Amino acid sequence: MDVLTHAIEAYSSLDNNPFARCYAAKAAELVFKSLYDSYVDGHDLNAKASMQIASCMAGIAFNSAGLGITHSLAHAIGAQWHLPHGLANAIVLPYVIEFNGQDPYTASVYGRLMSAMGLLNISGNAPQMLRKSVETLKSELNIPATLREQGIEERDYLGAADAIVSKALKDTCTATNPISPTREQMRMVLDTVYYGLKKN
């Protein structure tokens, strides 16, 4: 899931470029094709090889283009509660896609990424479809949807939230996020990471 986060954030980064987008899109495609198979069958060498390639390609992409606030928040969350980095990214990623997708240009970027990955945007709402695709993959991998589901007590979350927001705002990855978040916006995103999105 860290590989997928590298790919999606590099593709939508403010510093993205044609070379980074090519590597990022292919990496994301390979993750959706191979991660579940690698997860359920540790002897599936084709799936594992595909994930190794995806990891390398996503690394090339983000080394060139930078990342975004999924990583900024995951760095602070992981440090606060000693969560593995990939797990923290997996929990945060859908909510950052939702936030960044409010920007019309970034929404169109997500649409181009989905097309490059071969994912159908049947609703016409690329951020929503990309978010739901990530959420489905998370569910298949038995990854909690929120920090609350991960077992973080609400009192612990509320006691740490301000410090996490402060660290995330200062994180180097925030500089290349497609939206430059205010403190209030970063807290809003963090709240969704803990509580989940409100149902309409």
* Domain boundaries defined on the chain: 2-195
Q: Which pLDDT score, from 0 to 100, does residue 199 have? A: 62
Radius of gyration, CA atoms only, the chain: 16
Q: pTM value? A: 0.95
Q: Answer for the pair 16, 103: CB distance below 8 angstroms, yes or no.
A: no
Q: Is the dihedral of CA 60, 63, 67, 70 positive or negative?
A: positive
Q: Which fold has domain 2-195?
A: Dehydroquinate synthase-like, alpha domain (1.20.1090)
- Token readout for 155 is 């009192």
Q: Which pLDDT score, from 0 to 100, does residue 74 have? A: 98
**Closest to 80 in 3D by CA, of 147, 174, 180:** 147
The number of angstroms, rounded, from the C-alpha of 37 to the middle of its chain's C-alpha atoms is: 20
How does pLDDT run across 14-51, given as a tens digit for each residue? 999 999 999 999 999 999 999 999 999 989 999 999 99
Check pLDDT > 50 for residue 200: no
- Neighbouring C-beta atoms of residue 140, cutoff 10 Å: 12
How does pLDDT run across 114-123, given as a tens digit for each residue? 999 988 777 7
How does pLDDT run across 150-185, given as a tens digit for each residue? 999 999 999 999 999 999 999 999 999 999 999 999
Q: Which pLDDT score, from 0 to 100, does residue 121 have? A: 74
